[in-house]
């Protein structure tokens, strides 16, 4: 399977509608520092470094990052300009060997939807965590792209979406079904960390705390989302979709917007916040 994030254009456009205010990220990182106080923390699947960079600034301890994408590693290294931070390109299934020795905290956000076997992925990644250490699994409550998987499973969400966006996504998923590529919700969606938490509680972990930031207002346009469809910058748009099918879907959604008289560039604002569950590793492995 192609790693979409080895494409420079996908990495450069990964932030479509995902800008998080610096104050929110600082609050999130500060809460991790306060509640976990790690001497050495692994940011697993750090992406563009939205959490890793503020962690470096908030923590007195060492920050290590692993991501599968060479382009992501390069981007974050250029952002940090700090050789003391270990940024490693590699497979998180092999995290323990990649980092050399175990850490006392692991942070992960919006990654569990990517591997084909998320349970094995979690246990393999967390093999790098010491018994007694903390696992922080976060998510962004926001619209629209971060909750696409839940929309595909549960339908419209009146609490988050306006009617136009709800209908827009319904049209997208309906067209995928007509093409014979219906969207399949991952076992552990990026927008829902509860399945991962429930699994780990049954496998040597206990919930010990929560993190929640203030809300901010997040703006998005239809043109941004269609651009994300075109580039495949979110897994919901590229997994199981060929290049020809992707082009068809992009054109179809442009025509849909035109037919409905929707302005592609009008910004719509939605509430967003960062949440996380904190688990402590109380035993050495799967029961």
Domain contains 286: no
Whether the Cβ atoms of residue 180 and residue 212 lie closer than 8 Å to each other: no
Cα gap 139→162, rounded to integer Å:
21
Dump pLDDT digits (tens) for 29-67. 999 999 999 999 999 989 889 999 999 999 988 999 999
Place of tokens 């043109």: 223
Total domains in the fold of the chain: 1
Euclidean distance between the first and final Cα of the chain, in Å? Answer: 31
Domain contains 165: yes
Domain contains 25: yes
Rounded to an integer, the average pLDDT of 91-118 is 86
Q: Is 278 helix (H, G, I), strand (E, B) or coil?
A: strand
Cα gap 90→129, rounded to integer Å:
17
Does position 138 have pLDDT exceeding 50, yes or no?
yes
> Residue 93: which of 66, 118, 121, 116 has the closest Cα?
121
Dump pLDDT digits (tens) for 77-91. 888 877 778 999 998
Res 161: pLDDT: 61
Q: Are strands 40-44 and 62-67 parallel, antiparallel or unpaired?
A: parallel
Domain contains 59: yes
Domain contains 287: no
Angle between helices 163-178 and 222-231 (to 10 degrees): 30
Q: What percent of the chain has pLDDT over 70?
A: 84
Res 18: pLDDT: 58
Cα gap 238→143, rounded to integer Å:
19
DSSP 8-state class, residue 276? E
What confidence tier does 194 reach under pLDDT thresholds 50, 70, 90? confident
Does position 10 have pLDDT exceeding 50, yes or no?
no
The more confident residue out of 212 and 13 is 212
Domain contains 66: yes
Res 146: pLDDT: 52
> Residue 253: which of 226, 217, 278 has the closest Cα?
226
**CATH label of the domain that carries residue 56:** 3.40.50.150
β partners of residue 86: 64
Rounded to an integer, the average pLDDT of 132-161 is 66
DSSP 41-102: EEEET-TT-TTHHHHHHH-SSEEEEEES-HHHHHHHHHHH--TTSEEEES-GGGHHHHHSS-
| Domain of residue 105, residue span | 4-281
Res 154: pLDDT: 44
């Amino acid at each position: 399977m192609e790693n979409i994030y080895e494409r420079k254009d996908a990495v450069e456009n990964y932030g479509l509608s995902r800008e998080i205010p610096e104050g929110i990220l600082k609050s999130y990182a500060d809460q991790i520092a306060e509640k976990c106080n790690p001497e050495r923390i692994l940011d697993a699947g750090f992406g563009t470094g939205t959490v890793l960079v503020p962690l470096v600034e908030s923590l007195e301890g060492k920050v290590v990052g692993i991501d599968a994408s060479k382009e992501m590693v390069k981007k974050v290294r250029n952002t940090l300009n700090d050789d003391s931070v270990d940024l490693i390109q590699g497979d998180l299934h092999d995290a323990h060997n990649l980092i050399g020795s175990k850490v006392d905290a692991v942070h992960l956000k919006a990654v569990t939807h990517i591997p084909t076997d998320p349970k094995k992925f979690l246990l393999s990644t967390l093999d790098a965590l010491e018994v007694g250490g903390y696992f922080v699994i976060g998510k962004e409550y926001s619209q629209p792209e971060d909750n696409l998987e839940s929309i595909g499973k549960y339908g419209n969400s009146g609490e988050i979406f306006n009617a136009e966006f709800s209908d827009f996504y319904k049209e997208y998923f309906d067209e995928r079904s007509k093409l014979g590529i219906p969207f399949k919700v991952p076992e552990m969606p990026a927008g829902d960390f509860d399945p991962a938490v429930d699994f780990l509680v049954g496998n040597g972990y206990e919930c010990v705390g929560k993190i929640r930031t203030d809300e901010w207002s997040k703006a998005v346009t239809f043109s941004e989302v269609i651009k994300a469809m075109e580039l495949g910058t979110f897994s919901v748009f590229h997994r199981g979709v060929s290049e020809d099918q992707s082009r068809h879907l992009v054109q179809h959604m442009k025509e849909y917007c035109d037919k409905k008289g929707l302005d592609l560039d009008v910004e719509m604002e939605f509430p967003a916040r960062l949440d996380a569950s904190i688990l402590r590793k109380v035993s050495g492995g799967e029961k």
